[in-house]
Structure 1
Amino acid sequence: MRIGMILDKTFPPDPRVANEAISLIENGHEVFLFCLKYQNEKTNETIKGIQVKRYKSSKLLYKLSALAYTLPFYSSIMSKKIEHFLKFNSIDVIHMHDIQIASAVFKANKKLKLKTTLDLHENRPEIMKFYPHLQKLPGKFLISSKKWKRKEEGFVKKATNVVVVTEEAKLELINRVGKPSKNIVVVPNTVHKVYFENADLQPEIIEKYKSNFVLLYVGDTGLRRGLQTAIESISLVKDKILSIKLVIVGSNSSDSVLKNQVKNLGIEAFVDFEGWKNETLFPSYIKASSICISPLKRNLHHDTTYANKIFQYMSFAKPLLVSNAISQQNIVEKAVAGLVHKAENSNDFSLKVLELFNNLGLQKELGENGKTFIENEFCWELTSKKLIALYHN
Structure 2
Amino acid sequence: MNNQLNIDWPHFLANYWQKKPVILRQAFPHFCDPITPDELAGLALEQEIESRLVSNLDQKWQATYGPFTEQDFTQLGETNWSLLVQAVDHWHDQAATLVAPFRCFPQWLFDDLMISYAVPEGGVGPHIDQYDVFIIQGMGKRRWRVGDINPNYKQFCAHPALLHVEAFTPIIDQEMTAGDVLYIPPGFPHDGVCLETSLSYSVGFRSPTAQALVTGFADYLLEHDLGKVHYTDPNLTLPPDPLNVSPHEIERLKSMMIALINQPDYFNHWFGEYISQSMHSLNIESVEPPYHVDEVIATFKQGSQCHLVNSIRLIKVAETYYIHGEALDLPRPMIEKISHLHYFDQSAIAEFIDDKKVMNQFTHWLNRGYWYFVD
Relative to the length of structure 2, the TM-score reads: 0.25
Task: Specify the structure having the higher radius of gyration (Cα).
Answer: 2
More helix, by proportion: 1
Relative to the length of structure 1, the TM-score reads: 0.25
Structure with the bigger RCO (C-alpha within 8 Å, sep 6+) is: 2
More strand, by proportion: 2
